[in-house]
Amino acid sequence: MAAAAATTATESQSNLLQHRHVFGFKQDVRRNIHFSEDQQVIYPAGHTTVLYNFEKKAQTFFQGSEGTDAISCLALSPNQRYGTGT
């Protein structure tokens, strides 16, 4: 029975929706756009923080915490290696 439940949970997770591309950004967040490297920019878009690589023309998505409406704060460390959005 436990094996069947685990299989069902795995199957349902594979059917979840996934982001392919995010358009726009959340403009009411202070300091809402950061350059993390020469070819990357990080910005909030609704409930998602987006890392966009200009060279690869690709986005990486970081989902906000459950129970929140949107990203309201965005910050990068001084060396621009670590970031957070809440």
Dist. CA 56–CA 58, nearest whole Å: 5
58: left (phi over 0), alpha (psi -120 to 50) or beta: beta
How many domains is the chain built from? 1
* Domain span holding position 31: 24-85
Whether the CB-CB separation of 61 and 48 falls below 8 Å is answered with yes
Q: Is residue 36 part of a domain?
A: yes
Q: Is residue 17 part of a domain?
A: no
**Mind listing the pLDDT tens digit for each residue in 22-42?**
767 677 777 788 888 778 988
Q: Is residue 74 part of a domain?
A: yes
Parallel, antiparallel, or unpaired: how do β-strands 34-37 and 83-85 relate? unpaired
- Give 64's DSSP letter: P
pTM recorded for the entire structure: 0.67
Average pLDDT of the residues in 59-79: 82
